[in-house]
Structure 1
Amino acid sequence: MKANLTLHIYARAAKANAAGLHPLYVRITIDGKRTEFSSKKFINPKQWDPKMMKMKGSSEEARTINSYLETIKSKVNQTQIILEYQEEPITLEKFKSAYLGKKSEKERTLIPIFQDHNKRVRSLIGVEYSAGTHERYEVSLKHTQDFIQHQYRVQDIALHKINHTFIADYDFYLRTERNCSNNTTVKYIKNFKKIIRICIANGWIGQDPFLHYKTKLQEVEREVLTQDELQKLMDKTFSIERLELVRDIFLFSCYTGLAYIDVKQLTDANLVKGIDGQLWISTHRQKTDSPSKIPLLDTAQYIINKYTDHPESGNENTLIPILSNQKMNAYLKEIADLCGIKKELTYHCARHTFATTVTLSNGVPIETVSKMLGHKSIRTTQHYAKITDRKVANDMQNLKTILQGGIKQTHSDKKIG
C-alpha cells in the first residue's frame, strides 16, 4: 500500500565533534511522522552539498562516504518496495522494523478475536449475558465466516483489510445471499461492530471502517389484540386441556406484560405485598436484569389461583405451569383459528397487548407502563405501546368536556356582566 515517504540526509551541526566535523544523520518521514538515526559518518561541513545530500568533490573520502550513503538510500527504497508489495499499510514502526531486519508482530486477523469475544460472553452467561445473547453472537460469527469465504475465498482476514468496502459488502451479502430483512441485517452488523470497537480500542485498527456506514432499524408494526379479541379468548371454552393452559398462560402475560422467559422463572417468592397492600409481582427481567414490579390485575390473579395446585407447578417450583416457547407459539396459532382471530398470534404479542390495549388505552401513563415492563428508557416503551383509536377518542372526549366547560363558564360570565 503506497505511503508518502521522504528521505533526508543532513549534516547535524549540533552534534559536531571536537575536530569541528559534523555527523551525517538520516531522517525518514512517513505520512507526517518521522524518525532519524546517525550514519556514523562525519564530514567537513564545507564539503557537504545539502541539496544533493552528498559530499562535494572526488576525493577518496568523498567517494567512500557517498557510496555508503547510496547504500542507505537503496536499502530505504528496497524496504519501501517490499512493504508495498505486501499490501499492508506502511507505518513508521513497521518501516523501522523492516529496515532494521526485526520481525514485526504477527498480523492480527478477525476470526480469533471474534471467537475470543464469544468465549468471554459464554463464560458470563447468567452474570452479564443471557444464553440467547451468546447464541446470537455465535450466529453472527458464522455469518461473518461465511461472508469472508464467499467474498474472498479465504478462512480469515487481516484486520487492516476491514474497511468501508468490507462493511458495505457484508451488508449486501446478508440482504441477498442470506435473505435477511433490513432489521435482521442491522442487528448482525451491530454485533459485528462490537468486535470492530474492541479492535479499535486495542489499537489493532487505525480508522473506524463504520465511519461513513449509515443504516437504521425500520419500525415494525407489531400485532396487538383489541379488547374484543381479548374477550373472545377469555370467553372461549376449550375441550383440549393443553389449549386451555396455553390460552391462560398467554392471557397471564397480556395482563402482566411479562415476557415468556420471565413467566417461566416465576415462583411464589415473586409474589409480594405492594405499597397499596395488594399482591404484586416483583422480578428482574432476564434480558436486561432490570427490576419489574407489577400490581396484579384480577385476570392475572385468577390464573395464578387456578393453577396453584397444578402438579407441574409443584414439580417445577413455578408459579404457573408453562410449555416450551416453540410449543406455545404453535398452539397459539391453533387457538387464534378457533377464536376467529385473524392475527398472527405469538407469545410476544401478549407483552405488546399489555402495553397498548390493557394499560395505555385505559389511561395508564406511559411512564408507569415503562416501569412495569422493566424498560430502562421510555423510547423502548414507545416501540411497544401504540396509540389506538380508542385512546385518541377517549382523550379527545376529555378535551371536549374541558372545552365545553370553559365555554359555558365564559357565557355565564357574560350574562352576569
Structure 2
Amino acid sequence: MNITANIVCYKSKTLSNGEHPLMIRVCKDGKKKYKSLGVSVNPKFWNFEKNTLKPNSPNYEYLSRIIADKASELSEEIVKLKSERKDFTASTLLEENSQRVKPRTVNDLFCEQIKRLQDEGRRGYMLSVKQVYNSLLMFNKHLDIYFTDIDTSFLRKYETWLRKQELAENTIGIRFRTLRAIYNLAIEQNLVKAESYPFKKYKVSHLQEERVKRSLSKEDIERILTYKSTNNYMRFPIDIFAFTYYCGGINFIDIAHLTQANIIEGRLIYKRHKTGKLIKIPLCQQALELIKKYHCQESPYLFPILSGFHETEIQKANRIHKVITKVNKRLKEIGEELNLPITLTTYVARHS
C-alpha cells in the first residue's frame, strides 16, 4: 500500500491576484488527487525544489501553521486507516479528512462572539469585545493566529503597546479582562487546552489603579436636590440625578427603558439591562412625583429619553448616549457652581 500526502503550490492554476492555491496532494497506487487548502501564495514565496514556504512570505507563521496542521492530520489519518486495515483510495482519504472540523483562529472566535452578542442585543458588551478585537488587530496586524500563540510573552508585548497608546491603567485592565474572557471561551469550546492558559502566570489583577471614591455627603446631596433653576435644560439633569438617588442607584440606561408596566403596586420592578437581574424597589413619594412630572400619555416611556421613534437597538443606544452626554455635561456645570469636591455625574448619584 504505497501512499504519500503532502501540500503543494499548484502552479497549474493562477488566481486573479496572481497567486497559486495551496493544495493537498495525495498519491496512491500511481493515482493523484488534489484538494484546495483554502489559502494561496505568491509563487515567489514558494520554494518549488524543497516544496516549502519561504521564510520571507507574508503571514509566514499563519500559513506555516496551516500547512503543518494539515500535513499532521493527513499523516494521522493514513496511520489510522492502515492500522484498521481499511482499504481506501486517494479520494476517500481526502473525503475523510475534509469531514474534520477546521481549527478556528483567534479572529474566528472574536467575530463569532461579536455577532452572537449583537444578536442577543447585548450591545454594551459587544462594543467592549469589538474594542479589544480592533485593538489586537492594530497591535498584531492580523488575528489569523491560534490561541496557543497568545502566551505570556504575547500578553506582555501587548501591555507595553497599550501603554504606548497612553491609555489609562483601568482601561488597559478592561482590555485584558475581556481578552481573558475570550480565552476562557476558547478553552470551553476546545480550541485550546487549559494547560496553555497564559493568565495563570500573567496576572490581570496588577492592571488596576485605585479609584478616587465618587460619592457625596448627605449635605452635598441635599444641596443638589434643592438646586433651583428656571431653565428646563438644567432642571431635567437634576431630576434624573434625584430619581437615580431615590431609586437605589438605578442606571441611566434602565431609567430610559422604564414604562408604566414597570410600576406594580407602588414598586419599581425591572430587569437590569446590563445583567438581566430582576430588581424590585419601593417607590418613594419623591420618585412618584418625578414620574408624574415627566410621563407623557402619548409615550410608552416614563421619561423623555426614548420615544416610539426609537425602534432598533442601535437607535435606542445612540439616543441614550446622546442624552446622557448632555445630562452629565450640565450636571458638571451645576457641580462647579455648587463648588462640590468631585465632578458631578449620574454615576455619583448611583454611589452616594
Is the structural similarity TM-score above 0.5? yes
Task: Give the match's secondary structure for 2:268.
Answer: strand
Distance in 2 of aligned mates of 1:203 and 1:266: 41
- 1:171 aligns with one of 120, 134, 159: 159
Contact 1:108 1:159 in 2 (8 A): no
| Residue in structure 1 matched with residue 204 of structure 2 by the alignment | 215
* Deviation by residue 1:226-251 (Cα, 9 ceiling, x = unmatched): 11112212222113111011111111
Shift of 1:98: 9.6
Aligned Cα root-mean-square deviation (Å): 3.3
Alpha carbons 2:214, 2:348 under 8 Å: kept: yes
Where does 1:275-286 land on structure 2 (aligned, <5 Å)?
279-286=266-273
Aligned partner (choices 246, 258, 265) of residue 266 of structure 1: 258
Mapped to 2, the partners of 1:290 and 1:147 lie a distance apart of 36
Report the CA distance between 1:346 and its aligned residue. 1.3
| Partner secondary structure for residue 319 of structure 1 | coil
Q: Structure 2: which amino acid aligns with 1:317? A: P
Aligned positions, number: 254
* Equivalence for 2:293: 306
Cα displacement string for residues 287-309 of structure 1 (whole angstroms, at most 9, x for unaligned residues): 1111111112233233223334x
Return the alpha-carbon distance in structure 2 between the equivalents of residues 145 and 190 of structure 1: 17
Change (3 A) 1:280 1:211: same
1:204 aligns with 2:191: yes
Deviation of 1:214 (Å): 0.9
How many Å separate the matches in 1 of 2:237 and 2:65?
Answer: 60
Residues 193 and 91 (structure 1 numbering): CA distance in 2 closer, same or farther, change over 3 Å? farther
- How far apart, CA to CA, are the structure 2 residues paired with 1:212 and 1:118? 27
CA contact (8 A) 1:148 1:157 kept: no
Whether 1:112 and 2:108 are equivalent positions in the alignment is yes
- Contact kept, 8 Å, 2:103 with 2:191, in 1: the verdict is no
Q: Which residue of 1 aligns with 2:42?
A: none
Identity %: 24
Alpha-carbon deviation of 1:138?
1.1
Asked if 2 retains the 8 angstrom alpha-carbon contact of 1:222 and 1:349, the reply is: no
Local SS of the residue matching 2:165: coil
Query: Given the superposition, is the C-alpha separation of residues 230 and 159 from structure 1 closer, same or farther in structure 2, using an over 3 Å criterion?
Result: closer
Looking at structure 2, the residues matched to 249 and 268 of structure 1 have their Cα atoms a distance apart, in angstroms, of 17
Aligned ranges for residues 278-297 of structure 1 at < 5 Å? Answer: 279-297=266-284
The answer to whether the 8 A contact 1:122-1:131 is kept is yes
Task: Give the whole-Å Cα distance in 2 for the aligned partners of 1:90 and 1:211.
Answer: 27
Given that 2:215 and 2:348 are in contact with CA atoms closer than 8 Å, whether structure 1 keeps it comes out as: yes
Distance, in Å, in 2 between the alignment partners of 1:109 and 1:325 is 38
Residue of structure 2 equivalent to 1:245:
236
**Gaps (5+ residues) in structure 1?**
1-85, 274-278, 354-417
CA deviations on 1:111-163 (whole Å, 9 max, x unpaired) are 122111111111111xxxx21111111111101111112xxxx5632443222
Maintained 8 Å contact 2:139/2:158:
yes
8 Å contact 1:247–1:332 — kept in the other structure? yes
Which is worse superposed, 95-104 or 313-322? Answer: 95-104
- TM superposition shift of 1:93: 5.5
CA distance in 2: counterparts of 1:164 and 1:94, whole angstroms:
28
Whether the 8 Å contact between 1:148 and 1:156 is mirrored in structure 2 is no
Question: What amino acid maps onto 2:300 in structure 1?
Answer: N
Work out the CA distance in 1 between the residues paired with 2:271 and 2:104: 40
Tell me what 2:49 maps to.
Answer: none
TM (normalized to structure 2)? 0.63
Classify the secondary structure of the residue corresponding to 2:304.
coil
1:138 aligns with 2:130: yes
Q: Check if 1:351 corresponds to 2:350.
A: yes
2:148 is equivalent to residue 160 of structure 1? yes
Matched, 1:320 2:303: yes
1:40 is aligned to: none
Secondary structure of the residue aligned to 1:293 is: strand
Deviations 1:310-347 (A, max 9, x none): xxx33432223347111111111122123332421111
Residue 316 and residue 225 in structure 1: after superposition, are their counterparts in 2 closer, same or farther (change >3 A)?
farther
Amino acid at match of 1:339: L
Normalising by structure 1, report the TM-score: 0.54
Determine if contact 1:145/1:156 at 8 Å carries over to the other structure. Answer: no
User: Is the Cα contact below 8 Å between 2:291 and 2:302 reproduced in 1?
Assistant: yes
Q: Which amino acid letter does the alignment assign opposite residue 253 of structure 2? A: I
SS of the counterpart of 2:199? coil
1:186 correspondence with 2:173:
yes
CA shift at 1:177, angstroms?
2.7
The CA distance in 1 between the partners of 2:143 and 2:264, in whole Å, is 54
